[in-house]
């Protein structure tokens, strides 16, 4: 077998271009970042970002069917990467690195992006940066207002598959100090949406409906007072389920629209309350100077407002990505790959990279 040779790495003073690819779940995405990984302070900007959503496809089944998602990635990946390069006014050969999400996520979805990126790396000799999806969310909060970042940072990552509190001492050292013991925050939003017969994806539908809520039903706040930074959302989901069963006489009568709105608002209030309370407590214990919110659920307006309010009261900086950068995209993957280089991390030969659905951060 012919030995793969990586092209020469750029000199220390030069800016590098990173092409990033993301296919870990149900968005096919590409982005190009230009930045200097050797500068004293992080120095980067984005040249393009393309996201091809599969929402219309998965709406029909009310959720993501992994094989259907993988097939859609296969159809979209080439046009998405092409458009990413065209929008960046660049060619593949202008890139210095190729970054790809290789975990965690749906294995069949991850394989499409990972194998595609390996092919590009093999064909061009460009070094590969396998990137962790959760690190992508973690660093996505730094995409705006880098001047507001003062360490230690308490990072709250709330997505469809994860809920984590991460303590960041600097751009490199981070430690997960709490996570969910059962359902993730986004997963809970999606499950409650299904109970209320709302379309997929449930999170944005719940927050839309919650705007019309009038009465807070005081759902439980599981683990809010526990002496740790872990979360549990499945108990909250069960409490909502029991409430709905009682109200509908076990499905014999339908819920009024106002009942649904009250349930959505009360559920959302409980999630926001638990996340805000525990994050603030962690912030105080670790004397954090910045709170960073990221992940799909970071698009939730009441959650953003609640954290922003408490941070303002406590004189802590608050950073959150733009709405469209909260849900999955490749800009966050490019940024995590940039920080890997900034933190003196190395690229990898394509033959050593494989999709790893269980690649967790610690």
Q: Which does 350 bind (CB under 5 to 8 A by kind): ligand KG4, Zn ion, none?
A: none
Backbone torsion region of residue 154, taken as left when φ is above 0, otherwise alpha when ψ lies between -120 and 50, otherwise beta: beta
- In sequence order, what are the residues at sequence separation of 6 or more whose Cβ sits closer than 8 angstroms to the Cβ of residue 3? none
- CA-CA distance, 331 to 333, in Å (whole number)? 5
CB nearest ligand KG4: which residue?
Answer: 296
Among the listed ranges 85-93, 197-205, 251-259, 331-339, the one in contact with ligand KG4 (CB under 6 A) is 197-205
| 202 to 221: interface string for Zn ion, x by CB under 5 A | --------------------
Q: Which does 204 bind (CB under 5 to 8 A by kind): Zn ion, ligand KG4, none?
A: ligand KG4
Sign of the torsion angle spanned by Cα atoms 263, 264, 265, 271: positive
Contact pick of 131, 159, 207, 276 for Zn ion (by CB under 5 A): 159
Decide if residue 155 touches Zn ion (CB under 5 A): no
Among the listed ranges 154-162, 235-243, 248-256, 334-342, the one in contact with ligand KG4 (CB under 6 A) is 154-162
What is the nearest approach in angstroms of ligand KG4 to the Cβ of residue 188? 8
Do the Cβ atoms of 334 and 20 come closer than 8 Å? yes
Do the Cβ atoms of 269 and 300 come closer than 8 Å? no
Decide if residue 300 touches ligand KG4 (CB under 6 A): yes
Contact pick of 10, 204, 235, 357 for ligand KG4 (by CB under 6 A): 204
What is the nearest approach in angstroms of ligand KG4 to the Cβ of residue 64? 10
DSSP-H helix ranges across the chain: 55-59, 66-87, 107-124, 133-140, 185-195, 202-210, 234-247, 257-285, 301-314, 331-342
Q: By C-alpha distance, which of 124, 79, 83, 116 is closest to 100?
A: 116
| 24 to 43: interface string for ligand KG4, x by CB under 6 A | -x------------------
| 307 to 336: interface string for Zn ion, x by CB under 5 A | ---------------------x--------
Nearer to ligand KG4, 130 or 160 (CB): 160
What is the nearest approach in angstroms of Zn ion to the Cβ of residue 101? 9
Nearer to ligand KG4, 51 or 341 (CB): 51
Decide if residue 336 touches ligand KG4 (CB under 6 A): no
What is the nearest approach in angstroms of ligand KG4 to the Cβ of residue 202? 5
Nearer to Zn ion, 16 or 69 (CB): 69
- Residue 185's CB is within 10 A of a number of other CB atoms, namely 30
What is the nearest approach in angstroms of Zn ion to the Cβ of residue 328? 4
Q: What is the DSSP string of 271-324?
A: HHHHHHHHHHHHHHHTT-SEEEEESGGGG-HHHHHHHHHHHHHHT-EEE---GG
Contact pick of 201, 213, 222, 321 for ligand KG4 (by CB under 6 A): 201
Torsion from C-alpha of 140, 143, 149, 155, nearest 10 degrees: -10
According to DSSP, residue 41 is labeled S
Q: How would you class 53 by CB atoms within 10 Å of its CB: exposed for 0-12, middle for 13-18, buried for 19 or more? A: middle
Name the token pair of 15: 């800016």
Q: How far is CA 126 from CA 36, 73, 99, 120, 333, in A?
A: 17, 22, 10, 8, 17
Decide if residue 160 touches ligand KG4 (CB under 6 A): yes
Nearer to ligand KG4, 161 or 178 (CB): 161
- Output the CA angle 211-300-223, nearest 5 degrees: 100
Q: Which does 269 bind (CB under 5 to 8 A by kind): Zn ion, ligand KG4, none?
A: none
Residues that bind Zn ion (CB under 5 A): 159, 328
Residues that bind ligand KG4 (CB under 6 A): 25, 159-161, 186, 189-190, 201-204, 207, 295-297, 299-300, 327-328
């Amino acid at each position: 077998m012919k030995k793969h040779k990586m092209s020469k790495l750029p000199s220390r003073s030069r800016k590098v271009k990173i092409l990033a690819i993301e296919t870990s779940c149900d968005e096919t995405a590409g982005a190009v970042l230009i930045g200097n990984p050797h500068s004293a302070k992080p120095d980067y900007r984005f040249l393009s970002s393309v996201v091809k959503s599969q929402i219309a496809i998965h709406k029909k089944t009310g959720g993501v069917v992994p094989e259907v998602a993988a097939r859609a990635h296969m159809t979209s990946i080439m046009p998405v990467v092409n458009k990413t390069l065209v929008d960046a006014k660049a060619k593949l050969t202008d890139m210095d690195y190729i970054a790809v999400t290789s975990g965690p996520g749906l294995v069949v979805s991850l394989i499409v992006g990972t194998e595609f990126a390996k092919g590009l790396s093999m064909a061009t000799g460009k070094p590969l940066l396998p990137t962790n999806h959760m690190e992508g969310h973690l660093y996505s909060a730094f995409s705006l207002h880098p001047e507001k970042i003062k360490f230690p940072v308490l990072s709250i990552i709330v997505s469809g598959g994860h809920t984590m509190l991460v303590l960041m001492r600097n751009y490199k050292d981070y430690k997960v100090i709490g996570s969910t013991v059962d359902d993730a925050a986004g997963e809970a939003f999606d499950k409650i949406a299904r109970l209320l017969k709302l379309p997929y994806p449930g999170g944005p539908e719940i927050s839309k409906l919650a705007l019309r809520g009038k009465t807070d039903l005081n759902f439980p706040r599981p683990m809010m007072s526990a002496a740790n930074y872990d979360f549990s959302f499945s108990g909250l989901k069960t409490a909502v389920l029991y409430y709905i069963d009682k109200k509908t006489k076990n499905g014999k009568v339908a819920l009024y629209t106002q009942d649904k709105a009250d349930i959505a608002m009360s559920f959302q209030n409980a999630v926001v309350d638990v996340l805000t309370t525990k994050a603030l407590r962690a912030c105080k214990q670790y004397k954090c100077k910045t709170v960073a919110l990221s992940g799909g659920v970071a698009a939730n307006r009441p959650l953003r407002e609640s954290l922003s309010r408490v941070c303002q009261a406590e004189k802590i900086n608050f950073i959150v990505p733009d709405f469209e950068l909260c849900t999955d995209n490749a800009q966050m993957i490019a940024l995590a790959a940039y920080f890997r280089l900034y933190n003196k991390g190395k690229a990898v030969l394509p033959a050593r990279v494989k999709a790893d659905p269980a690649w967790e951060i610690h």
